[in-house]
Structure formats: C-alpha cells, structure tokens
Amino acid sequence: MNKREFLKGAVVFIPAAGVLGAVARHAAGKETAAKEPAAKQPAAAPNAKNGYEPSAHYYGMGIDIDKCIGCNLCAVACKVENDVPDEPFYFRTWVERYTITRDGEVSVGNISLGTAREPMREPVQDAREVVRTFFVPKLCNQCQKPPCVQVCPVNATFTTQDGVVIIDAERCIGCRYCIQACPYGQRYLHPKTRVADKCTFCLHRLVKGLQPACVEVCPTQARIFGDLRSHASRLVRFRRLNKLHVLKPQLNTDPKVYYANLDGEVR
C-alpha cells in the first residue's frame, strides 16, 4: 500500500461533522484550526525566461455584468485551455442567465450546459412579462479566506504567494471535502484523474505574462483581470471607478472576483 492509498483510506474515518464544523466556524468569522505557515506552503515556480516572481503579484478579477452578452466563449476557451472534461456538467467557469418577470419571479439557467460551442437555449418567454434579463459569469472566487483550504486533510489545496488558490494533483486524495466546503459550487472531481479540479486563473499563463483564457477571448471585455498590487493595473482602475459587490459576502471568504452592476437577485 503506497502513501496515497493509505491517506485515502484514513480520511474515510474522519467524521463529516468535522468538515461541517470547520465551514461553520469560517462563516462565523472565527478562528479555524492552525495550518501550515505561509512560508512552508508551495508557490508558483518563477518562469525562467521572464524572471516571474510570485510574491510581487496579487491577482484578482472584475466582471462588468452590463457588458456580458452571454456568448459563452469564456466557458469554451476555458475547457480547451485547461483540458476540462467535454461533458457539459464539468466547468471551471460558466455563464448563468437571469430572467426577472413582472410578478417578481426569478429564473436562473446555466447557458453553458449546451454542447461545447452552442449555448443552451431556454424556452422563449412572453417578452411583455420580462422586466430584465442579464448574464452572470461564475468562476472560482479565489478567496482570501478560502474554506476549501481549511478543510483539506492533506494540504493539497493551498494559496500561492500571488493569491491564486490551486490544487496539488499529486497530493489530492479525492476525498471531496473541498468540493463540499466551496460555497460557490466551483469545484468538481475530475472523472479521469479522480482528484479535485477548479479554476486557477490560468496560472500557467500568468507566469508567462499572459491573461487567463476566458479574459483573452471575451469580445466585450466584460472580464477585467489584473494585479491588485499594481497601480497601473486595469483591475485597480476598475475597482476605483465602479461600485462593486462580491458573491455571498456574509460568508466572510473575502473573494477576489468583483462584480460591477450586480443585481441583488444574484446568489
């Protein structure tokens, strides 16, 4: 029996209440169990060609709801770039359509559930009854206080020095605790590797000086990516010029994905 198999078997006996308790303590803003010191946690390796230094950056993303047209190109580009499974229910990023009618009813549909290049088409509603329709891109919120990191029993999920929450596939044992702990429904268990997977802001592109794939293909520039430590960053300017919101602020996860023009119905 190797180390990976031993750890996987041992985690089975960890009470589920322990995970729920950790998440509850986090939501209440209380101190959680001690974790490895930041200095001991792995960080993204510097790029040999451009001398990339993780500690010099701190990444985040902004999304302008009014600019998103629901083209679904971000979801398609993400799947191609990151080898996300072709099945329509696996995502690192996706787009939701919100429809609000005169009677106050709100319907939400994931338009990325269609085929790889064809967004899902919902039944047409009576336009006279629709008050507003808009699209909301979703992805990992790259929390500054990530509950997924707190519940991982083998420290496979961690935050890099440049602020990106990633997963060490070699260390992950597929226990699914992080999937349950994520309040944004962003993680999934990869059907082939049997380890947790999620958005990483395309970290492999960042170390080369490139933008995340979803940002690069957005035709309306609804996604704004940048370095929160750089005054010249588009994201810093976006935060300064817009009234921003984050998803589920009551959970105190301190997300680094900021939304402009976000409707109060969005959860």
Give the start-to-end residue ranges of the domains of the chain. 42-87+138-267
Residue 202 sits at the vertex; the CA angle it makes with 38 and 71, to the nearest 5 degrees, is 140
pTM for this model (two decimals) = 0.79
Structure tokens at 257: 């994905």
Q: What is the pLDDT of residue 48?
A: 44
> Per this entry, what is the length of the chain?
267
Strands 59-64 and 257-260 turn out to be parallel
Helix (H) or strand (E) holding 236: helix 234-241
**Burial of residue 165 (number of CB atoms within 10 Å: 0-12, 13-18, 19+):** buried
**What is the largest distance, in Å, between two alpha-carbon atoms of the chain?**
65
Token pair, residue 215, equals 């940002």
Contact criterion met (CB below 8 Å) for 133 and 115: no
In this structure, what token pair is assigned to residue 25? 């303590």
- Of the candidates 60, 62, 59, 58, the one whose C-alpha atom is nearest the C-alpha of residue 258 is 62
Block residue for tokens 């996604």: 223
Neighbours of 5 (CB within 10 A): 10
Q: Which residues contact 87 (CB under 8 A, 6 or more apart)?
A: 191
Start-end of H helices in the chain: 3-11, 16-27, 73-82, 147-151, 177-181, 203-206, 213-217, 234-241
Look up tokens 């999934």; give the residue: 188
Note down pLDDT in tens along the chain; length 267 residues. Answer: 554 554 455 544 443 444 344 434 444 443 433 344 343 444 444 454 568 999 999 999 999 999 999 999 999 999 999 999 989 889 999 999 999 998 889 999 999 985 444 444 555 556 678 889 999 999 999 999 999 999 999 999 999 999 999 999 999 999 999 999 999 999 999 999 999 999 999 999 999 999 999 999 999 999 999 999 999 999 999 999 999 999 999 999 999 999 999 998 898
CATH fold of 42-87+138-267 reads Alpha-Beta Plaits (3.30.70)
Q: What are phi and psi of 121, to 5 degrees?
A: -105, 120
Could you give the CA distance from residue 37 to residue 40 in angstroms, rounded to a whole number? Answer: 6
